[in-house]
Amino acid sequence: MNARTVERLLEVVEKLPEDKASEVLDFAQFLLVRSRQADEDKLPIEIWAEELARVHGFDHLTEDDVARIVKEVRREKS
């Protein structure tokens, strides 16, 4: 990537609210993972999701943990 592209990207991202800048980062990481897809048995979205979990510190959760959390949140909302 050339320096001008990086500069333009930073200019745009710096103007975004924090939550939107975080979305840009997540999307960029998804694109990076997809472009480097080393494990051909996994879909790009699976690799992206694993990286997202690692970056945000919840990669220790199992599928059962996630299902339990979702059920609890849904129960609280109803």
| Domain ranges, residue 69 | 3-77
Average pLDDT, integer, range 62-71? 90
Domain count, the chain: 1
Instruction: Please tell me what DSSP assigns to residue 60.
Output: T
Q: What is the pLDDT of residue 40?
A: 67
DSSP-assigned letters across all residues of 14-63:
HTS-HHHHHHHHHHHHHHHHHHT---TTS-HHHHHHHHHHHHHT-TT--H
**What pLDDT, in 10s, does the model give residues 8-55?**
999 999 999 999 999 999 999 888 877 776 666 778 888 888 888 888
